[in-house]
Amino acid sequence: MYTRVESRFWQDEKMRLVSDDARYLMLYLLTSPHRNVLGFYFLPEPYACFDLGWTTERFRKALGELLANGLVKYDETAHVVLIINFLKHNPLENHNQVKSATQKLDEIPKTPLLRDFYETVKKYADGKSHYSSLLERLEKLLGEQLEQQLPKQLHKPFGKQEKEEEKEEEEKEKEKEKEKEYRDILSSDETDDTRLTEDSLNDDDNKTINAITPKEVVELYNSICVSLPRVVTISEKRRKQIKALLKKIRDRTEIEAVFRKAEESDFLSGRSGKWNGCNFDWLINYNNFIKVLEGTYDNKEAKPKSWNVLERLYKEELEKEMNSE
Q: Cα-atom radius of gyration of the chain, to the nearest Å? A: 29
Quote the CA–CA distance of 244 and 217 in Å, as a whole number: 13
List phi, psi (to 5°) of 82.
-125, 120
pLDDT along the chain (325 residues), means of 10: 79 86 93 91 94 94 92 94 91 89 88 91 85 88 76 51 69 68 46 39 41 90 93 91 90 91 92 89 93 90 55 65 64
Residue 98, CA distances (Å) to 41, 113, 130 in order: 16, 19, 7
Q: What is the pLDDT of residue 260?
A: 93
Q: What is the pLDDT of residue 170?
A: 78
Quote the CA–CA distance of 232 and 222 in Å, as a whole number: 9
Measuring CA to CA, which residue among 293, 264, 269, 267 is closest to residue 279? 269
For 145, residues 6+ apart whose C-beta sits below 8 A from its C-beta are 110, 114
Quote the CA–CA distance of 82 and 79 in Å, as a whole number: 10
Residue 124, CA distances (Å) to 19, 235, 255 in order: 29, 45, 56
| Residues making up the chain, counted from first to last | 325
Q: How far is CA 201 from the centre of its chain?
A: 39
Quote the CA–CA distance of 169 and 149 in Å, as a whole number: 21
Q: What is the pLDDT of residue 50?
A: 94
Quote the CA–CA distance of 201 and 158 in Å, as a whole number: 58
Quote the CA–CA distance of 54 and 272 in Å, as a whole number: 16
For residue 55, the surrounding DSSP H or E stretch is none
Q: What is the pLDDT of residue 100?
A: 87
Is pTM, for the whole model, over 0.85?
no
Q: What is the pLDDT of residue 2?
A: 73
